[in-house]
Amino acid sequence: MGAGSFGAWTAWHLRQAGLSVRLLDAYGPGNARASSGGESRVIRVGYGSDEVYSRSALRSFPQWRELAAETGETLLHEAGVLWLAREGDPYATATLGTLERLGVRPERLSPDALAARYPQFAFAPGTWGILEPKSGALMARRAVQAVVRRAVQRGVAYGSAAVAPFGGSSVTTTTSGERVSAGAFVFACGPWLPKLFPDLLGDRIFPTRQEVFFFGPPAGDDAYAPPRMPAWIDFGDEVYGLPDLESRGFKVAPDRHGPPFDPDTGTRVVAAESVDRIRTFLARRFPALAAAPLLETRVCQYENTSSGDFLIDRHPDRADVWLVGGGSGHGFKHGPAVGEHVADRIARGAPGEPRFAFTTKTAEKRRQVY
């Protein structure tokens, strides 16, 4: 249940393991309400000292590339990912160490080198950088739809259906009344998980409203598109962005968690004060875009766990029900590795990752994964 990045790749890997698979989604793969919808998502390897996610990204990269090669679609732009760091920044220093340990070979850019290579930015004094040259951006909606099409071609049965809140029986019921039976149920429903399991996950998965802005670069100016502009992460301001990909606009988005949000009924129009705030940031960090036209806005959602770690575990009372979610704003890129992990657990009885366990998810929000 759920045809986003986690659910679609899980269906693919379960089918590859020889199982009969049916994939359901309420609104369709990459739909406008989904956390896996939208124009683009950053794909990176750096995670501070959280090597479990760096290794997951490294497992996912070749599968995204294989999918792109097989479909002939442009799903991945290797524009690079630039981390902006301050002097003495422990997270950036740990990121650099992890990348080097895993053989990623990042570039460390001094403040002078950073300013010389990326004059589009107005960096705060003392800012240095880490560049992942082979990382970049995934075209989210297009990519997750491609996963579903390929899975269907290999024998996965896909259908559009909304699942009713879980009732604890040996079957799952859709909102239209269809009863679905299976040897195992995988609920990879993102921000819908607390709605489907209100007693279990209502205070452990926190959907939040997240706003995204696309600005128009000056006519004839390629300074904000690859290869001159990478994807970038500014931890000091909790803002990230992607270059002008396929002429859709320069993407800027706050990474800090927004207010609670209902993925079914929440209003997806940004407020005027939100535009003012992001323009203030834009004027400070990208002065040439201070008056750039706002081409488009989006409202999506994160589905955060208490720490930002994924939730991949059995239902505590049902051995045939699996809970897969908690992407927490950074999960899309990991779809291939998550699907592989879930399939290994279901089809082969592989052990789980302790950090993904249900018992580690609490009602107290202490974000640790970025």
Q: How far apart are the first and last CA of the chain?
A: 26
* One domain, residues 223 and 283: yes
Residue 260 included in any domain: yes
Q: What is the CATH number for 272?
A: 3.30.9.10
Q: Is the pLDDT of residue 3 over 80?
A: yes
Number of domains the chain contains: 2
| CB-CB contact of 197 with 317 (8 Å) | no
Q: Is the pLDDT of residue 254 over 80?
A: yes
Q: Where are the beta strands (DSSP E) in the chain?
A: 22-25, 41-43, 76-77, 81-85, 107-109, 128-132, 136-138, 157-160, 171-173, 179-181, 185-187, 206-215, 231-234, 239-242, 250-254, 294-304, 311-315, 318-325
Give the number of other CB atoms < 10 A from CB of residue 282. Answer: 22
Distance CA 177, CA 187 (A): 18
Query: Which tokens belong to 216?
Result: 């128009």
Residues of the domain holding 252:
79-134+206-302
The pLDDT value given to residue 174: 83
* One domain, residues 192 and 210: no
* One domain, residues 211 and 227: yes
Q: What is the CATH number for 316?
A: 3.50.50.60
**pLDDT tens-place string over residues 211-239:** 999 999 999 999 999 999 999 999 889 99
Tell me what the mean pLDDT of segment 52-57 comes to: 98
Residue 57 included in any domain: no
* One domain, residues 239 and 314: no
Concatenate the DSSP letters of all residues of 278-339 into one string.
HHHHHHHH-GGGTT--EEEEEEEEEEE-SSS--EEEEETTEEEEEEEE--TTS-GGGHHHHH
* One domain, residues 263 and 283: yes
* One domain, residues 312 and 231: no
What percentage of the chain reaches a pLDDT higher than 90?
92
Q: What is the mean pLDDT of the chain?
A: 95
Given 252, 276, 302, which residue is the final one in a domain?
A: 302
Tell me what the mean pLDDT of segment 322-348 comes to: 97
Given 302, 327, 344, which residue is the final one in a domain?
A: 302
